[in-house]
């Protein structure tokens, strides 16, 4: 049975990050958005503070490949739930900042799930000693100009030549892709094979034939880098094939890497809930300061109902996030639930931002002192797009609901 009660550790994480977000991150949000960057010193300070919020069973990226930590087998894991709680609070403060935090990012899960012990030690090892040395990022490169949600349609090619793989193609909209020390890149040996032809590589910065294309000038999440990656006869050592040749004898290697979405989609959903909650709370406080809802005025009753509707949808989305993360922590397959949380949260948060702007009127989009609402409205759109569009989530959900029917 799912328990929605937060553990003491989770409550401490929630309270600590909420306070940090309110008093430190949120006041910098508009400045970071205008300057299109998160200050490096701020990221360093945040990483030091974040260590105190880490759950006991969350592994430090720099420790991957080392001996596993001892954990009480009778104590259920809290990794995914705690990460979702933290993601919601940080997105409430500033989602672009959260996406800019150094570390393996979305490239971490496929290496953790599919990489050999040597690959884990090597690629996660680059994140050691960031307190003293330069900040480093990892990234996940799947989307292409003609293929994103349709993963089977990727056209970046790979062919084996001696002890190297040669990659040709382009990837687009890659979070932290330009500054990443390495990118997990998906390519295909033969597009006609669909997923069976896919291979995943870890392409390191400076690899011959690997270049950075344009840095996107985006509508939202402007403080976070989003880049185009170009591969022209890019020669990748065979030891950088994720999981090694044996992992691709069947589809299992690719499918294992793709299953990481079952863990990351609920986190993206939690971020959406955080942005939606920020807009909802802003509109709620604005109404409290400007209207006396207890008066029998039809317009006031309509405003109260709109706020209630927003609150209900956000609570429902959070419940789906908690269900998906509970299943992930318990080792229960959660592809359907992960997609449900992602689909519901993106729509609920978008609805929250739209309603907040309409309820606040000119104050929501025109007044300088209320510019955060306008920023959240710009930021939230992508949460129904990346990590699989809302339409793709509904396809995933329907396939699992209709398992066994010939049409599926």
Instruction: Please pick, among 144, 337, 355, 387, the residue that the annotation labels catalytic.
Output: 387
Alpha-carbon Rg of the chain, whole angstroms? 22
Region for 137 from its dihedrals, namely left if φ exceeds 0, alpha if ψ lies in -120 to 50, beta otherwise: beta
CA distance 335 to 395: 12
Enumerate the β-bridge partners of residue 208: none
H or E element, residue 164: strand 164-175
Instruction: Work out the angle between the directed axes of helices 8-20 and 79-100 (0-180°, nearest 10).
Output: 10
The torsion defined by the Cα of 99, 103, 104 and 106, in degrees rounded to 10, comes to -10
Whether 387 is a known active-site residue: answer yes
Enter the DSSP assignment of 359: H
Q: What does the H/E/C string look like for 67-122?
A: CCCCCCCCCCCCHHHHHHHHHHHHHHHHHHHHHHCCECHHHHHHHHHHCCHHHHHH
State the catalytic residues: 387
């Amino acid at each position: 049975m799912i328990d929605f009660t937060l553990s003491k550790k989770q409550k401490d994480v929630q309270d600590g990050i909420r306070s940090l977000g309110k008093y430190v991150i949120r006041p910098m949000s508009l400045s970071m958005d205008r300057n299109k960057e998160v200050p490096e010193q701020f990221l360093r300070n945040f990483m030091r503070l974040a260590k105190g919020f880490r759950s006991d069973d969350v592994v430090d990226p720099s420790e991957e490949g080392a001996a596993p930590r001892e954990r009480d087998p009778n104590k259920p894991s809290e990794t995914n739930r705690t990460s979702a709680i933290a993601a919601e609070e940080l997105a409430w403060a500033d989602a672009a900042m959260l996406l800019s935090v150094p570390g393996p990012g979305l490239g971490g899960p496929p290496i953790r799930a599919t990489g050999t012990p040597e690959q884990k030690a090597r690629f996660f090892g680059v994140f050691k000693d960031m307190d003293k040395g330069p900040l480093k990022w990892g990234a996940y490169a799947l989307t292409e100009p003609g293929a994103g949600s349709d993963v089977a349609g990727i056209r970046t090619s790979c062919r084996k030549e001696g002890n190297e793989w040669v990659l040709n193609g382009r990837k687009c909209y890659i979070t932290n892709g330009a500054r990443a020390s390495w990118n997990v890149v998906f390519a295909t040996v033969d597009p006609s094979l669909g997923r069976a032809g896919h291979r995943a590589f870890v392409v390191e910065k400076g690899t011959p034939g690997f270049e950075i294309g344009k840095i996107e000038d985006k509508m939202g999440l402007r403080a976070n880098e989003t880049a185009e990656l170009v591969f022209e006869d890019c020669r990748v050592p065979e030891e950088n094939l994720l999981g090694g040749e044996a992992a691709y004898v069947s589809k299992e290697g690719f499918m294992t890497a793709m299953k990481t979405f079952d863990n990351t989609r609920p986190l993206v959903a939690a971020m959406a809930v955080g942005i939606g909650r920020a807009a909802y709370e802003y509109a709620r406080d604005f109404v409290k300061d400007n209207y006396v809802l207890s008066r029998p005025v039809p317009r006031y009753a309509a405003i109260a109902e709109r706020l209630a509707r927003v609150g209900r949808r956000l609570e429902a989305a959070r419940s789906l996030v908690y269900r998906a993360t509970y299943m992930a922590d318990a080792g229960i397959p959660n592809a359907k639930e992960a997609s449900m949380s992602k689909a519901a949260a993106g729509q609920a948060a978008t609805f929250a931002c739209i309603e907040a702007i309409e309820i606040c009127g000119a104050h929501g989009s025109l007044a300088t002192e209320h510019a955060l609402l306008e920023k959240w409205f710009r930021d939230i759109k992508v949460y129904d797009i990346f990590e699989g569009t809302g339409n793709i989530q509904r396809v995933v959900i329907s396939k699992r609901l209709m398992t066994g029917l010939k049409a599926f």
